[in-house]
């Protein structure tokens, strides 16, 4: 399958765990190694062939829009959530008219990584709409930093099983996936997350775990740890 040309970039969050770095800017504009987190992600998506990125905005929305005007590629379309923060699922649902038909990338802005080969190419190669609605980019807990130490999920013959309470799982979701965006079309009005939607589709949520070193930049210390690891 060819890689999607459109992406949804989730940049509307409040970034409360990143304070005081987010006292005067959104998490999307916090810099890691001198580059805003949102640019790290948009650069990856552009390299994977993305032509249009729909970016949702809420917290310090004007600053995000101003910053993105300086980008030449991919083309940016804003999904305005100034009136209400809609979470991951609600944000994707609001953006459906902007995303067009067909599969899309969906990406958070708080992960950076080191890769021997392009990880997004591996994700695109694994995407198969005949047998999946979602394909997640995953990382082993032992090659990732700043994620849940006890993991998020299991990978069984390419399909994902989410851990039960009390379980420790070997993989974490690193914040990028490909999906058929229609999976949220029947979601509730207002804010809702993607995880509950995924859990209603057993066998239709898959994943791939290419080699790399994965860093979740969720708080100020994680930012410092990521910069130190990238500098090595």
Query: How far is residue 89's CA from residue 61's CA, in Å, rounded to a whole number?
Result: 19
Would you call 215 helix, strand, or coil by DSSP? strand
Give the pLDDT band of residue 1 (cuts 50, 70, 90): low
Average pLDDT over residues 144-170: 93
Q: What is the pLDDT of residues 176-189, one digit of tens each?
A: 999 999 999 999 99
Q: Each residue of 15-37: pLDDT tens digit?
A: 999 999 999 999 999 999 999 99
**Which 8-state DSSP code applies to residue 117?**
S
pLDDT of 123 higher than 80: yes
Domain assignment present for residue 116? The answer is yes
Structural tokens at position 29: 């504009």
Flag whether pLDDT at 69 surpasses 70: yes
- Report the CATH number at residue 122: 3.90.550.10
**Looking at the 3D structure of the chain, how many domains does it have?**
1
Q: What is the pLDDT of residue 232?
A: 85
Average pLDDT over residues 221-226: 97
**Average pLDDT, integer, range 152-179:** 95
The answer, yes or no, to whether the previous bond of 74 is cis (omega within 30 of 0) is yes
Longest dimension (CA), the chain: 46
Q: State the chain's mean pLDDT as an integer.
A: 96
Name the more confident of 103 and 232. 103
1 assigned to some structural domain = no
Extract the tokens encoding 10.
């989730």
Q: Is residue 26 part of a domain?
A: yes
Q: What is the pLDDT of residue 2?
A: 77
At residue 149, the pLDDT reads 84
Residue 108 covered by a domain: yes
Give the rounded percent of residues in the chain with a pLDDT score beyond 70: 100
| Domain of residue 151, residue span | 6-231
Q: Which residue has the higher pLDDT, 68 or 149?
A: 68
Identify whether 15 is part of a domain: yes
DSSP letters spanning 45-101: HHHTT--EEEEEE-TTHHHHHHHHTT--SSEEEEEE-SS---HHHHHHHHTHHHH-S
The answer to whether residues 163 and 153 touch, using CB atoms and an 8 Å cutoff, is yes
The token duo for 58 is: 């809420």
């Amino acid at each position: 399958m060819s890689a999607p040309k459109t992406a949804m970039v989730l940049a509307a969050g409040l970034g409360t765990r990143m304070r005081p770095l987010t006292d005067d800017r959104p998490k999307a504009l916090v810099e890691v190694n001198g580059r805003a987190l949102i640019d790290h992600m948009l650069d990856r998506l552009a390299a994977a062939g993305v032509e249009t990125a729909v970016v949702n905005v809420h917290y310090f929305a004007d600053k995000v829009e101003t910053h993105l005007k300086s980008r030449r590629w991919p083309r940016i379309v804003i999904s305005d959530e100034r009136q209400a923060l809609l979470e991951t699922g609600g944000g994707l649902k609001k953006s459906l008219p902007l995303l067009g038909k067909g599969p899309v990338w969906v990406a958070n802005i708080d992960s950076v990584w080191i890769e021997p080969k392009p990880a997004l190419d591996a994700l695109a190669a694994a995407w198969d709409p005949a047998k999946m609605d979602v394909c997640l980019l995953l990382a082993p807990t032992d090659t990732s930093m700043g994620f849940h130490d006890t993991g998020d999920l299991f990978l069984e013959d390419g399909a994902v099983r989410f851990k039960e309470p009390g379980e420790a799982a070997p993989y974490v979701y690193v914040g990028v996936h490909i999906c058929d965006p229609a999976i949220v079309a029947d979601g509730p009005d207002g804010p809702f997350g993607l995880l509950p939607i995924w859990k209603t589709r057993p066998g239709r949520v898959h994943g791939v775990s290419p080699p790399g070193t994965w860093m979740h930049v969720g708080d100020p210390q994680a930012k410092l740890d990521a910069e130190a690891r990238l500098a090595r």
